Amino acid sequence: MFVLGITGGIGTGKSTVAMILRAWGLPVIDADAIAHELTSRAGETTAKIALQLGDAFLDDKGALDRRKVAAIAFSQKKILDQLSAIIHQDVVHVMDERLEQARRKKIKALVLDVPIPVERGFLDVCDQVWAVTARRDIRLERLGLRGMSQEEAIRRMSVQMTPEEYADLAAHVIENNGSLLDLENQVGSLLELELGRRGIPVPGLAAF
């Protein structure tokens, strides 16, 4: 099974690339979605977070209070690192289970959509990594359209890896500075190249 890793900083369009790949028929394991699932209810993950950060970071149902966590995490890197480590461990466990399920189903190719290209659970299981990048001004504009203030967007971007660091880990860099069609063309060309050389058919590429 060919495991393709997609990564990139906030506002680059990483999730859009994953959406395109999913639309073309590739299964996608979304680390952010798993993390959201694990922290949206009372459970082992939120219990670990409360132990590390305090009960004040949970709501009255035992789920993560995201606004409170974000206010601290993106202004204090140490807390962000602690929070990320707790969630990462449980997310990787779920991703491992889903990868194994895919292997048992004899799926030929699969996508891991991960914002932070960590070694365990991403780099060590991916056969190839693609990094999505975009100009700083475009990223800020996209984040603004999501309702994020420029100050908050800059703060979040500053605690993530640089575009150069993402690129150093990748076999291919996708520059997402244009239209959705431009992005689809880049992704389609890379998919045709990398899966084609491995003899893996992608149904959605037939119309590309």
Per-residue model confidence (pLDDT) at position 138: 97
Q: How far apart are CA 153 and CA 59, in angstroms?
A: 25
Q: Are 75 and 155 in contact (CB under 8 A)?
A: yes
How many Cβ atoms from other residues are within 10 Å of residue 138's Cβ?
A: 16
Per-residue tokens: 103:
């292997």
Q: How far apart are CA 160 and CA 187, in angstroms?
A: 24
Instruction: Write down the residue that tokens 């992005």 correspond to.
Output: 183
Q: Are 38 and 45 in contact (CB under 8 A)?
A: yes
Spell out the per-residue pLDDT of the chain, length 208, in tens.
999 999 999 999 999 999 999 999 999 999 999 999 999 999 999 999 888 878 888 898 999 988 877 777 666 777 777 888 888 899 999 999 999 999 999 999 999 999 888 888 899 999 999 999 999 999 999 999 999 999 989 988 988 899 999 999 999 999 999 999 999 999 999 999 999 999 998 767 655 4
Whole-number Cα distances in Å, 207 to 33, 98, 131, 140, 165: 29, 29, 25, 33, 34
Kindly give the pairing relationship between strand 128-133 and strand 109-113.
Answer: unpaired
Per-residue model confidence (pLDDT) at position 78: 79
Per-residue model confidence (pLDDT) at position 71: 76
How many Cβ atoms from other residues are within 10 Å of residue 182's Cβ?
A: 12
Per-residue model confidence (pLDDT) at position 202: 78
Per-residue model confidence (pLDDT) at position 162: 93
Of the candidates 134, 71, 93, 107, the one whose C-alpha atom is nearest the C-alpha of residue 201 is 107
